[in-house]
Amino acid sequence: MRFADLLVLSRMGVHTREDAVTAGSVGTGQPSLPRLETPRMTDSLVLAKLDAGPEIFHSLQGEGASVGTPSVFVRLSRCNLHCVWCDTDYTWNFAGTSFSHDKDADPAYRKPVRAEVQVTLSDEEIAREILRHGCDNVIFTGGEPLLQQPGIARVMTLLRTAMPEVRFEIETNGTQMPAAELEALRPRYNVSPKLGNAGMRADQCLIPAPLAFFAACDRATFKFVCAAGSDLDEIRGIVDTHRLPRQRVLLMPEATSREELEQRRPWLFEVCRQTGFRYSDRLHVAIFGSRRGV
Ligand code: SF4
């Protein structure tokens, strides 16, 4: 089926549950998953805006288990958390909100106006923009992509129909349970639970049910951002409490600039060597610093 035909069918509503079910099967031995509502034809996704268009770009995965993989990134707007060091705070820290952020220390810093950093696109527009890059690994990132998982599942279904070999990764803070329709498409999950250094309460960041789901899912890996030695005790506590498989836990230095990364790399490298956790570097910070869309 040509993608043009697929788009016609999708506008007629022929791209929902059946396609998702034929694309794969829901795993067993995991907590039962909620069902998504059947999407309406007006459904759409809210993405971060980069320059005049959506933040969809072709690059290499820069972190975690699939580092180095050529990928198309799709950055969703909105997040349910508000980490003080967040490097994508333009997805949630809008003018008029009361959230704190490290940037507040700069007297010249102004929060962005929501309408200037968000763009809403239809499922078909997003699928078409992704397919334009001809890349078979697609990463939904954010913000927190799972806040918009019905739309992500629909876009993934369009892509899988047009490109059966396509693989998906979803970057998540681990507080949201994936729904059955999303799971049917067998994405990999890059789960990044937040520590106290993010500036929020543990009961906001560490939700037992989704963490139990991801711990039982062998397509999930866990990334922890580490800034100091005190983070390690907290990570060990989370790994033990939520029974996260140690071989799927990666530690990554907190850094939004090359200088910070260079400062923390040797320390965390040594921590991983001594503790047995995996190390993840941050290619984008190392190569591009804090530049967006690369
Ligand atoms: S969970 Fe991720 S996107 Fe959300 S505020 Fe924290 S770092 Fe930013």
The whole-number average pLDDT for the span 149-177 is 97
pLDDT at 156 over 60: yes
- Quote the pLDDT of residue 32: 58
pLDDT tens profile 96-151: 999 999 999 999 999 999 999 999 999 999 999 999 999 999 999 999 999 999 99
- Quote the pLDDT of residue 255: 86
What's the predicted TM-score (pTM) here?
0.85
C-beta of 176 in contact with ligand 1 (< 6 A): no
What is the Cα–Cα distance from 150 to 176, expressed in whole angstroms? Answer: 13
Higher pLDDT, 143 or 38: 143
What is the Cα–Cα distance from 182 to 146, expressed in whole angstroms? Answer: 10
- Quote the pLDDT of residue 30: 47
- Phi then psi for residue 156, to 5 deg, are -60, -40
Return mean pLDDT, the chain.
87
C-beta of 76 in contact with ligand 1 (< 6 A): no
DSSP designation for 281: -
What is the Cα–Cα distance from 55 to 290, expressed in whole angstroms? Answer: 15
pLDDT tens profile 56-112: 999 999 999 999 999 999 999 999 999 998 989 999 999 999 999 999 999 999 999
The whole-number average pLDDT for the span 18-36 is 41
Please state the domain extents for the chain: 1-35, 36-288
Atom 6 (ligand 1) nearest CA: 83
C-beta of 10 in contact with ligand 1 (< 6 A): no
Q: How far is the CA of 142 from the centre of ligand 1 (A)?
A: 8
Is the dihedral angle over the CA atoms 98, 99, 104, 110 positive or is it negative?
negative
Higher pLDDT, 49 or 290: 49
- Quote the pLDDT of residue 284: 86
pLDDT at 23 over 50: no
Q: Which residues of 108-145 are buried (b: 16+ CB within 10 A; e: fewer)?
A: eeebeebeebbbebbbbbbbbbbbebebebbbbbbbbb
For the chain, the maximum distance between any two Cα atoms, rounded to a whole number of angstroms, is 57
C-beta of 83 in contact with ligand 1 (< 6 A): yes
The whole-number average pLDDT for the span 219-248 is 94
Q: How confident is the model at residue 227 (pLDDT cuts 50, 70, 90)?
A: confident
For residue 190, the cross-strand partners are: 171, 221
Q: Report the top-level CATH class of 36-288.
A: alpha beta
pLDDT at 14 over 80: no
Higher pLDDT, 125 or 23: 125
- Quote the pLDDT of residue 168: 98
List Cα–Cα distances, 251 to 161, 184, 216, 282, in angstroms. 35, 29, 20, 11
- Quote the pLDDT of residue 1: 41
Q: How confident is the model at residue 234 (pLDDT cuts 50, 70, 90)?
A: very high
pLDDT tens profile 245-283: 999 999 999 888 899 999 999 999 999 999 999 999 999
Q: How far is the CA of 81 from the centre of ligand 1 (A)?
A: 6
- Quote the pLDDT of residue 18: 31
Ligand 1: which of 85, 194, 201 to mutate, most ligand atoms within 8 Å of CB? 194
Ligand 1: which of 81, 103, 226 to mutate, most ligand atoms within 8 Å of CB? 81
